[in-house]
Structure 1
Amino acid sequence: MNRQAQAVVLLLFGGAIVKAASTDLYLRYVKEGLRPFLLLTGAFLVATALFTLWYEYRPRPDRQDAHAHHEPGVGWLLLLPVIALLLVAPPALGAFTAGQAGTLTAAAESDYGPLPEGDPVPVGLLDYASRSIYDDARSLAGRRVQLTGFLSAGPDGGPMLARIVVSCCAADGRPIKIGLTGGPAVDVPSGTWIQVTGRHSTRRAKDPVNQADIAYLEVEQWQPITPPKQQYE
């Protein structure tokens, strides 16, 4: 591939990054706080590609016949994955990932503060699991909580609420799973996003993938929702 072709690939790749970071599309790949870095990176790649094209095609008195040498055309096939990235965006990690990977082992802390005011109080799945498993649910006692995630099948076929936790990007994503018990039956397809209100359950289970503890929630009510803008936790 000649330098002009490399510049075109770089231009399209930088443009794809800028396009994704200019919308909510980038949230399928990285955490929300990385948007400025993506914009800067994409803009730098685009600028580099444009400068390279200008340098290659600018008039020069010593330029040799442009048709004297021909580069293999197969190098242009490298454009295909870049164009695919521009036209087709894969969905965020979801129920399939949750079914294949073991639940994230919640980090133990020495002190869990009280939950914020509210009834029910919105709580992240990782926070709920940590308080349930490592704090013996002391900070959850007597409180109604509201959890948001997508439905996933549990080891016994029962419903579980799950969400993908990322440290930086989707490549390091791991699921956190919360079992659902009692209350009205959750009868929507796997992968459907729902909002669940309930109270802590003393029930526990082991994830068959990695043998980590899975906390449970006693369901009082639930409803399907539109997937949130930020699907990762």
Structure 2
Amino acid sequence: MNRQAQAAVLFLLGAGLLHAGFTDLYLRYVKAGLRPMLLASGVVLIAAAVATVWYEWRATRAQPDAEDRAEDHADAHARSDADDHAQSDAEDHDHAHTHHEPRVSWLLVLPLLALILVAPPALGSYSALRAGTALQQPYGYGHLPAEGPLRLSLVDYAGRAVYDHGRSLEGRQIKVTGFVALDHSGAPYLVRMALNCCAADAQPVKIGLTGRIPPVLQPDAWLEVTGTYTARRTKDPVNHGPIPYFQVTAAKPVPTPHDPYDETWNN
């Protein structure tokens, strides 16, 4: 891989990052708050590519001048010696500037192809059932409206149900959205994957469903459930973490949300 190829790879990687950052594609990989850093990384890579091309062009222009100076110096000596020295200098110059980078460096193109061609789906029920709930006690609870149904994130509902013992939820109609996961016994859970930084460290937060559950549930299908708080709880079989329940009165399928991950647990 020569310098021009290196610059091309840098430029394509930078363009791929900018493409992901200016679209929703980046949400498959990192949390929304990292978008500025992703865009900045793309700009830096493109700038590095342009700088590489610029310095390579300058070096190519400077090479003929260096050869002319070498010939002038050789003319001060015997013609035969000058020819020998010129040939030796040319060979040394070519040897010094000919570097064969390992072909494995072309593997740097693979992340770009994966980013553009093979955008992975968001993590779903398969990952959720193989990891313990990541529910953490929040530092505080946001203000809730005094009237009307409460539209809460799944993480917010789970935190209030477990650590606030549902005090702010009693007697209120609540709406929660998540994807369906069914354990080995067929028990349904509503899940949202919570991010700390990126999809690689995503962990599930789960709530159990009870009440008027739809008779047919498909894993990974997104549901909006309406219902009320219940004090019922269970323990996650993976890490024995607390899993609160939700008393369902109605449920309807919804499209996959714009951002399938939940970041509220780390705010």
Provide the rounded CA distance (Å) in 2 between the counterparts of 1:99 and 1:79.
Answer: 34
Match of 1:88 in 2: 118
8 Å Cα contact 2:196-2:202 kept in structure 1 = yes
8 Å Cα contact 1:7-1:53 kept in structure 2 = yes
CA 1:74/1:155 → structure 2, altered by over 3 Å: closer, same or farther? closer
| Higher fraction of helix | 2
Provide the rounded CA distance (Å) in 1 between the counterparts of 2:208 and 2:29.
Answer: 26
* Higher alpha-carbon deviation: 192-201 or 74-83: 74-83
Matched, 1:103 2:104: no
How far apart are residue 161 of structure 1 and its match?
A: 0.4
The residue type equivalent to 1:145 in the other structure is I
- For structure 2, which runs of at least 5 residues remain unmatched after alignment? 65-92, 263-267
The residue type equivalent to 2:63 in the other structure is D
Q: After TM superposition, list the pairs within 5 Å mapping 1:195-206 onto structure 2.
A: 195-206=224-235
Q: Give TM-score scaled by structure 2 length.
A: 0.78
Match of 1:14 in 2: 14
Matched, 1:39 2:8: no
Q: After TM superposition, list the pairs within 5 Å mapping 1:56-75 onto structure 2.
A: 56-58=56-58, 59-62=60-63, 69=98, 71=100, 72-75=102-105
Provide the rounded CA distance (Å) in 2 between the counterparts of 1:159 and 1:40.
Answer: 42
CA 1:35/1:213 → structure 2, altered by over 3 Å: closer, same or farther? same
Matched, 1:148 2:177: yes
Q: Give TM-score scaled by structure 1 length.
A: 0.89
How far apart are residue 52 of structure 1 and its match?
A: 0.5
8 Å Cα contact 1:155-1:207 kept in structure 2 = no
* Higher alpha-carbon deviation: 156-165 or 29-38: 29-38
- For structure 1, which runs of at least 5 residues remain unmatched after alignment? none
8 Å Cα contact 2:165-2:231 kept in structure 1 = no
Q: After TM superposition, list the pairs within 5 Å mapping 1:1-233 onto structure 2.
A: 1-58=1-58, 59-62=60-63, 69=98, 71=100, 72-107=102-137, 109=139, 112=141, 115-154=144-183, 156-185=185-214, 187-233=216-262
Please, what is the CA RMSD of the aligned residues? 2.3
Aligned length: 231
- Could you say what secondary structure the match of 2:223 adopts? strand
CA 1:145/1:201 → structure 2, altered by over 3 Å: closer, same or farther? same
Deviations 1:139-187 (A, max 9, x none): 1100011001111114642111000111222222111001001114252
Provide the rounded CA distance (Å) in 2 between the counterparts of 1:135 and 1:169.
Answer: 28
CA 1:11/1:197 → structure 2, altered by over 3 Å: closer, same or farther? same
Larger Cα-atom Rg? 2
Provide the rounded CA distance (Å) in 1 between the counterparts of 2:168 and 2:253.
Answer: 27
Provide the rounded CA distance (Å) in 2 between the counterparts of 1:213 and 1:161.
Answer: 14
How far apart are residue 108 of structure 1 and its match?
A: 5.1
8 Å Cα contact 2:194-2:202 kept in structure 1 = yes
* Higher alpha-carbon deviation: 85-94 or 115-124: 115-124
